[in-house]
């Protein structure tokens, strides 16, 4: 049975499902989920991420975390963790860039959190020299200093969508389209549940009007709390890189299939589904745990502060022809405001008594 058939059957039996349930099924259904079945990431996949564009991205993030570790007095042992490591490229580059730092690799316990078995296999192959351990969830992160990266992880977490109705909210739900309602291409449609109060959205009554749509990611809060608790109590730092902004407004659910935008309801399991990250949610969760956070900083600004242009010049010295053109294009793609430089943001989490991670400001 295809995922579309599975979803239609479930909706017929139980009624319309939340956007979050729909996203979870599409991305992580054990038989048909996008991450469980597809080779999604990389030059041949549906989307290409910053670490797949250039080694410079992982190198600079690695050095920023090492600097935080040095600033905090080289705690040992500590956890080096990545959420949603994809093909493992970011961590490979981070580890190569940090191997010359005395004591860092010796004191590190490398931990990965990855839901998709096929990607876990790719990560195991890429990182076999470093004996990583996979944990089922962030709740299982050891109670010790934590240095963590997450690139394009939070945008894959399921969101719920709510439309304001007076002082209440109606949840958007995925239901079955009536014959003829949406044409032949899709059998799913979006509807609205009954109005209900939503305490988690109390702060959004200030900046929305009747009919506005907001998104809420409960899992992002839970994940951030687990990270922030470790950092506040034991030390460490986290670098979260993703697209989104301080506060998301409107429908940001999007599907990408074969590098082209698609209808999020049309190809369940066969398209990547993401939503903009509402960084305010992460910051509120961090503060609630007594963990400090940096200003939200555009990726381009962050990478420039960490010296990406110097690194690019050093790499360019040995190149000419196509490889040189590719390096120049990669630098531009990662940093230019019209490419990833502005759309992607970086947030740092760190202990309140320590300086913020390199490249970021209090």
- Residue ranges that bind ligand SAH, judged by CB under 6 A: 27, 35, 41, 49, 51-52, 84-86, 90, 113-116, 119, 151-153, 156-157
| CB nearer to ligand SAH: pick between 18 and 163 | 18
CA 260 – CA 98 distance, rounded (Å):
36
Q: Helix or strand or coil: residue 36? A: helix
| CB nearer to ligand SAH: pick between 27 and 126 | 27
Q: Could you tell me which of 246, 72, 49, 71 has the C-alpha nearest to residue 149?
A: 49
CA 81 – CA 144 distance, rounded (Å):
12
| CB nearer to ligand SAH: pick between 187 and 270 | 270
Is 349 within 8 Å of 291 (Cβ atoms)?
Answer: yes
| CB nearer to ligand SAH: pick between 41 and 334 | 41
Q: What residues contact residue 322 under an 8 Å CB cut-off, 6+ apart?
A: none
Strand partners, 18: 173
For the chain, strand residue ranges (E) read 17-18, 78-83, 108-113, 133-134, 146-151, 160-165, 168-176, 188-196, 213-216, 236-245, 254-257, 260-262, 272-274, 277-278, 291-293, 297-298, 344-351
Chain residue at closest Cβ approach to ligand SAH:
84
| CB nearer to ligand SAH: pick between 47 and 246 | 47
| CB nearer to ligand SAH: pick between 8 and 27 | 27
**Which two three-digit tokens encode residue 253?**
């659910």
Shortest reach from residue 106's CB to ligand SAH, in Å:
26
| CB nearer to ligand SAH: pick between 85 and 351 | 85
| CB nearer to ligand SAH: pick between 58 and 235 | 58
Shortest reach from residue 49's CB to ligand SAH, in Å:
3
CA 4 – CA 268 distance, rounded (Å):
6
**Which two three-digit tokens encode residue 158?**
């399921």
Shortest reach from residue 343's CB to ligand SAH, in Å:
14
CA 159 – CA 286 distance, rounded (Å):
19
CA 276 – CA 243 distance, rounded (Å):
6
Shortest reach from residue 152's CB to ligand SAH, in Å:
4
Q: How many residues does the chain have?
A: 362
Q: Helix or strand or coil: residue 1? A: coil
DSSP string over 106-171: HHEEEEEE-S-HHHHHHHHHHTGGG--EE-SSGGGS-SS-EEEEEES-GGGS--EEEEEETTEEEE
| CB nearer to ligand SAH: pick between 34 and 169 | 34
- Lay out the sheet containing 260-262: strands in order across: 260-262, 254-257, 272-274
CA 352 – CA 287 distance, rounded (Å):
10
């Amino acid at each position: 049975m295809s995922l579309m058939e599975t979803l239609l059957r479930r909706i017929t039996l139980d009624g319309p499902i939340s956007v979050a349930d729909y996203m979870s099924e599409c991305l992580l259904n054990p038989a048909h989920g996008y991450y469980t079945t597809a080779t999604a990431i990389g030059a041949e996949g549906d989307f290409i991420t910053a670490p797949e564009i250039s080694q410079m991205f992982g190198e600079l993030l690695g050095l920023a975390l090492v600097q935080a570790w040095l600033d905090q007095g080289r705690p040992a042992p500590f956890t080096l963790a990545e959420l949603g490591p994809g093909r493992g490229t970011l961590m490979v580059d981070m580890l190569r860039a940090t191997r010359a730092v005395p004591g860092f690799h010796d004191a590190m316990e490398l931990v990965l959190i990855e839901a998709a078995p096929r990607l876990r296999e790719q990560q195991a192959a890429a990182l076999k020299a470093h004996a990583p351990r996979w944990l089922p969830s962030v709740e299982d992160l050891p109670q010790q200093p934590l240095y963590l990266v997450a690139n394009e992880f939070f945008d894959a977490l399921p969101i719920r969508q709510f439309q304001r109705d007076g002082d209440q909210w109606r949840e958007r739900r995925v239901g079955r389209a009536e014959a003829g309602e949406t044409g032949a291409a899709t059998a799913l449609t979006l509807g609205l549940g009954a109005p209900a109060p939503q305490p988690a959205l109390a702060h959004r009554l200030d900046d929305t009007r009747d009919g506005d749509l907001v998104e809420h990611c409960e899992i992002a809060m839970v994940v951030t709390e687990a990270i922030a608790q470790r950092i506040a109590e034991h030390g460490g730092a986290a670098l979260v890189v993703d697209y989104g902004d301080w506060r998301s407004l409107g429908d940001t659910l999007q599907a990408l299939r074969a590098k082209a935008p698609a209808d999020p309801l049309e190809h369940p399991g066969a398209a990547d589904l993401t939503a903009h990250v509402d960084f305010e949610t992460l910051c509120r969760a961090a503060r609630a745990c007594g963990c400090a956070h940096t200003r939200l900083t555009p990726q381009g600004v962050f990478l420039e502060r960490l010296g990406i242009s110097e690194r690019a010049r050093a790499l360019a010295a040995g190149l000419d022809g196509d490889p040189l053109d590719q390096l120049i294009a990669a630098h531009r793609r990662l940093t230019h405001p019209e490419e990833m430089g502005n759309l992607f943001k970086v947030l740092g989490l760190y202990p309140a008594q320590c300086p913020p991670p390199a490249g970021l400001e209090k």
